[in-house]
Amino acid sequence: MKLFNDGTTNAPRLQLGQALWAMEKLPMNSAQEWALEEKIRRVKEAGFEHVECWIRDDEAGQRIAALVRDAGLQLVFCHRPMTVQDTIQAVETAAAFGAQFVMCQPATAYHSLREVAGIVTAGAEKAAESNLPYFVETHRNNFTETIPQTLELIATVPDITITADFSHFVVVGEFYGWASEGAVERMRPIIERVGHVHGRISNGEQVQVDVGDGTDLSEGTPAGLFFELWRECFASWKRRAKPGDVMPFTSELGPPRYAITTPDGREFSDRWQQALVLRAIAQKAWDAS
């Protein structure tokens, strides 16, 4: 497994970031969305260190990469490959853009294990040529949408490194956060391979819910379950980490249709404020790990 390393001899650390996709349709219920420059500025001023982007090697993608770089932020590159060539091309683009690491949403649940194993193996090998970490995300509508399928992929590609978006497992598996469900132990082989965490909280029915100020971390609460999952990830990662290693955490609260809305299409949860709440929960989990 290849972790993200910043090339220093510093102690292993947490790096907090924000997904650009999560900035769509902000500010909340406004007739005028923030311009791209405003979004990047707010991410920087909020103290985040990286921006996660879905971009291509075209004029729009080059502009986003330039704005992120000029703001003193790091770029994280995301893609969803259906073939080996898809992932090789994406890794080449990520390297050209100077990305910190590459995140992959592997194919679909209807691709074969052999196909997906071939994709992620080729992607990781190509990324290694540019010294780029290559992370495979757990996500609905990908091969990794369920715990059993993800465990099959791990058994086939044991050195895989995971981007853990547990909101998908929790809603697919209908976990509610009770200790008797054994969520942590069911996910243990996945947790032990995590190199990047996505910040979104599910309540076992909806994939993305508002957790208020995030201070209620008791058993049976959505925030409590994710605090424990993230703490376990960070603790496992720290046992593997070496000087210079960095654990990225990315707040990633999607716009509608991810975000729940009233019948007139208005959001009732401020995703920007919730991104800051998720960041605070992640920091608590890190400190407790």
**pLDDT, tens digit, 9 for 90 and up, residues 162-199:** 999 999 999 999 999 999 999 999 999 999 999 999 99
Number of Cβ atoms within 10 Å of the Cβ of 131: 10
| Mean predicted confidence (pLDDT) in 23-28 | 97
Tell me how far apart the terminal alpha carbons of the chain are, to the nearest angstrom. 20
pTM of the entire predicted model: 0.97
Helices 59-70 and 84-97, interaxial angle, to 10°? 40
**Domains plus CATH for the chain?**
4-288 (3.20.20.150)
State the Cα–Cα distance between residues 15 and 64, nearest whole angstrom. 20
**What's the pLDDT tens digit per position in 214-271?**
999 999 999 999 999 999 999 999 999 999 999 999 999 999 999 999 999 999 999 9
